[in-house]
Amino acid sequence: MTTADPRIDWRSTSVPGARYLSGSTVYDEALVAGRWVTRYWNVNGQIWPEMHLAGRQWTADQPADAFDLAVNGQSLGGAWVWEGAALTADPGSAPRTGDNTASRPVSHGVVRLAAPAHGVGVDLHTRVDGGPFFIRWLEIANTGERPFAITAVAPWAGALWSHRFEEHLPPGQRTPFELGWAHQFEWGREGDFWFEDLAAGVTRIDGGRKGRSGWGRPAFWARNRCNGQTVVAELAWGGSYRLDLDCRLRDEEWGGNHLQPATRHGELFFRVGLAGHDAALRVIDPGERVATPAVHLAFFHADVDRIVQATHDHVRHVVMPPPVAGRHVEIEANHRGYLCDRESTPAILADADVAAAVGAEMYVVDAGWYGNEPNQWGANVGDWHDGPWMAAGGGLRAVSDHAHQLGLRFGLWVEIEAAGAHSDLRRQHPEWLLRRDGEPIAGGRALDLTQPEVARWVESEIARLIDTYALDMYRIDHNHCLTPAGNRDYRGFREDLTWRYYEALYGIFDRLRSRFPAVVFQNCAGGGGRLDWGTLARFHNTELSDWMRLPRGVQILNGVTLSLPPEVLLRTFGTETGEHALDGDIDAQLRLCCCRPIFRGIAPTLDELSPYLHQRITHFLDLYRRWVRPTMVDGLVFHHTPFTPLAAKAPWCVLEYARRDRSVSVAMLFRTGGRFDDDADAPWVFRPRGLDPGRTYAVVADNSGGRHQASGQQLATDGVRVCLGRPLASEMLIFTAEDGRDAT
């Protein structure tokens, strides 16, 4: 059977299967001996002839199954039968169209399989839109008469490559494959994304099973040295996960001819799945259907820049919700710089005055405005009313009104998933706490969103706060890990509650965004503790990290922007955290915020704002508004120092943003280490990648204000020599086209 959609083709023959085309990639899979397996991937748009596939038989020990599902401890690989396939309407919206992105129609196919002896049905959903990313998730149904427990599940798995490699590797290389992933999963260490060789065996990434997706990310890049291909995979899931890369290397005789020397053969299999602390990840009642999180996967034959740009386009136009009109990137100020746990309404009003004076566009009240005495922000969460210390001066509503009178939008921080040790909420509703084996987890502060009553309260409380305080922005936070996971005894199983928890959380924010379309919803989880695509599908922007200092701060930005576009990432300038002697100069601190700037502490009052600091902030924000923001939004990002481990003593970190029409490029160069000298022995020769070789550009170096002209070809060849003679210094280069074409 062939569908009417040229991107999706079914085979309902004696060997049923499916073939998907999107962008330049062809993906084929089939039902063989009860296993739904990968047949091949081809990144050049080629459909493989059947004569090349006839001899391919995956053995029982080769994990080529294109998904993994086990119920009650038994894998169902080998038990599947074909029930049919069909096109279906996509449950989400079509890819959104930015100013520079062509609209692409969505094709959504469903393959229906069943394991009748186990009472299990599975719908394999595959979504393609003509771009490089395929999206796959499972819908699992209990078709039997008894409950069962899902004890293992991976929405996507199978074979990536299988080929000989003896004549393709550079000298000294013993494996054709290498793997990039976020190596660290602890607070303040986001973006530690770099490559290691894949030796024979299984490399497993599980993020520490923290009940959250970070502070790493459930994602990997797999690269093939033989053919120059890269696979990018992202699990859209905020909970615990497990990524397996199974590398197999062997000698084999070529073509069965014993006169030929043995060749080297390599295979790489993958598995992207959920993980938990209990055997039962989810219990399914008879007649019930549940959907897994989705896996986004793309094959590339391209360099890092093109991969990053395609990934950013996918995040902007498919993964994340569209920006609120007129609210794409706002310059924020936050009260925490001088008032942590010593809040008062008059002091916050004065802080808002400082924010308005330097040019902020939104004022945010963060942790510490709520609860009962004493003012301890972490212990008081859950009681979302003005603290007594806010009474004088009219409380939080007065702050909201004042911000709006200043021409600022107003946002509010609420850690809605928590009940602090001193909160009335915790005393009044101890039964609302998430528990493991009957005892509260996460220090007794985690609310159990799997209880419908709790979920309803959370949603109604957020709605009440938005209405009561006229919020333009709601900022979530999540400062505990759900580990070991909450659980419950249900239908004879001990069930891990993480899956149900995130279903409830996602549903809450899907409904709230629909109910409040003019409100920006902002993500934070102890900084970047939930930077996965499943969480970000519910929010408009996100905190990048709680780590606010150089040099790690810029390395974090560098690493995270391999996945996420910079305009959705909040980066902090200010005084909230200590060790200001290690901040670097003021321009470097400000340039560190060349994504979404958020000021946390500018000056205690307007009278105490130094003219020097005021001038430098005003200067930076002028450049930001004129050049950085319009270049960054839906623009191109070039990593001149990609894959830099956070522990590396790298002397430079360099990022470049360019407009798609190549009229403007902005580069931020940071000296993150090295000797204290005139740097004559180690300048950085910056060669922009975002310019048109045939155009002429004005080049401005912000440190000196120097200006000269050069062609795009000359700049790409000879570059601009940047000398920074001290650590934690920086330079900003601005390239603008001077040929009369649009560069405004």
Complete domains list, the chain, with CATH: 8-93+108-319 (2.70.98.60), 332-421+450-482+509-632 (3.20.20.70), 638-737 (2.60.40.1180)
Separation of CA 155 from chain center: 18
Amino acid, single-letter form, for residue 268? L
**Alpha carbon distance 52, 343 (integer Å):** 71
Of 641, 628, 689, nearest to 662 (Cα)? Answer: 689
Amino acid, single-letter form, for residue 143? T
For residue 97, name the pLDDT band (cuts at 50, 70, 90): very low
Beta bridge partners of 464: none
What pLDDT, on the 0 to 100 scale, is given for residue 99?
A: 37
Rg (CA), the chain: 27
Backbone phi, then psi, for 257, in 5-degree steps?
-95, 110
pLDDT mean over 417-443: 98
Q: Which contacts of 423-427 are long-range, i.e. CB under 8 A and separated by 24 or more positions?
A: 423/371, 423/379, 423/380, 423/381, 423/382, 423/383, 424/372, 424/382, 424/383, 425/382, 425/383, 426/382
pLDDT > 70? residue 260: no
What pLDDT, on the 0 to 100 scale, is given for residue 256?
A: 55
pLDDT mean over 162-180: 90
pLDDT > 90? residue 726: no
pLDDT mean over 636-655: 94
What pLDDT, on the 0 to 100 scale, is given for residue 26?
A: 97
What pLDDT, on the 0 to 100 scale, is given for residue 456?
A: 98
**pLDDT tens, residue by residue, 455-508:** 999 999 999 999 999 999 999 999 999 999 999 999 999 999 999 999 999 999
Q: From the DSSP assignment, how many helices (H) and strands (E) are in the chain?
A: 14, 42
- Half-sphere exposure of 435 toward its Cβ, with a 13 Å CA cutoff? 11
**Alpha carbon distance 354, 225 (integer Å):** 54
Residue 265 tokens read as 């053969």
pLDDT mean over 284-311: 98
Q: What is the pTM of this model?
A: 0.96
Identify the burial level of 487 via C-beta atoms within 10 angstroms of its C-beta, where 0-12 means exposed, 13-18 middle and 19 or more buried: buried
pLDDT > 60? residue 302: yes
pLDDT mean over 399-414: 98
For residue 681, name the pLDDT band (cuts at 50, 70, 90): low
pLDDT > 50? residue 680: no
**Alpha carbon distance 314, 308 (integer Å):** 10
Do residues 221 and 179 lie in contact, with contact meaning Cβ atoms separated by under 8 Å? yes
pLDDT > 70? residue 190: yes
What pLDDT, on the 0 to 100 scale, is given for residue 172?
A: 83
Helix (H, G, I), strand (E, B) or coil at 641: coil
**Alpha carbon distance 509, 499 (integer Å):** 16
**Alpha carbon distance 596, 637 (integer Å):** 15
For residue 5, name the pLDDT band (cuts at 50, 70, 90): confident
pLDDT mean over 631-637: 97
pLDDT mean over 678-693: 84
For residue 1, name the pLDDT band (cuts at 50, 70, 90): low
Residue 565 tokens read as 């576009």
Asked if residue 156 has a cis previous peptide bond (ω within 30° of 0), the answer is: no
Do residues 537 and 321 lie in contact, with contact meaning Cβ atoms separated by under 8 Å? yes
Beta bridge partners of 447: 433
What pLDDT, on the 0 to 100 scale, is given for residue 85?
A: 96
Residue 45 tokens read as 């748009």
First and final C-alpha spacing in the chain: 53
pLDDT mean over 410-429: 98
